[in-house]
Amino acid sequence: MLRIIKTMNNIGVSISIILLVIILIIAVAIYVTGCSKKESFVVPDSGSSDELVDFGTVSDLDNDNILMVKVYANWCKHCNNMSNEWYNFYKKNNGLKIGSKNVKIVSLEEGNKLTKQVFDTIKYKTRGYPTILKISRSGEEYSVSECTGPRTISNWEQFAAK
């Protein structure tokens, strides 16, 4: 009887190990598949010069300037899909005039430590990702507008010029 119990115990341990290995293989396959999909997107926001890293960009905003901000999340597929278009908008227009205002173009990742400070300052709460904002300032008051319409350079330029 003792021999049967030991054999059943060994079978149970073997099955547990096999199941653990299968789960591990599936987890690795999911991780590798997810990584390869992420690498197919060009995400210029991460680590590029347009990522908002200094609160002064917002607090030093004056009457002659506007700030175009893409609020995004790294995990958001829509954000990743529009990254190339936003980056081209950035390359084409950052630091130049659109309409009568100088434009600074930045991105703000939802996990950025500045996100809460920026939203508290401009009194804004995002409802989803990606969100394109135009921030201007008159005296101590911030004006925030949310861009609607297509996620294209021409739409963002028209929005910035308003």
Q: Does the pLDDT value for residue 117 go beyond 70?
A: yes
- Mean pLDDT score across all residues of the chain: 74
pLDDT score recorded for residue 9: 66
**Rounded to whole angstroms, how far apart are CA atoms 52 and 116?**
13
Per DSSP bridges, beta strands 141-146 and 131-138 are antiparallel
Determine the average pLDDT of the residues in 96-105.
91
pLDDT score recorded for residue 31: 42
Higher pLDDT, 114 or 88: 88
* 21-56 tens-digit pLDDT: 566 465 444 443 343 332 222 233 443 446 655 566
pTM equals 0.64
Determine the average pLDDT of the residues in 57-81.
86
pLDDT score recorded for residue 28: 40
Q: Domain 56-161 is of which CATH architecture? A: 3-Layer(aba) Sandwich (3.40)
pLDDT score recorded for residue 19: 52
pLDDT score recorded for residue 116: 72
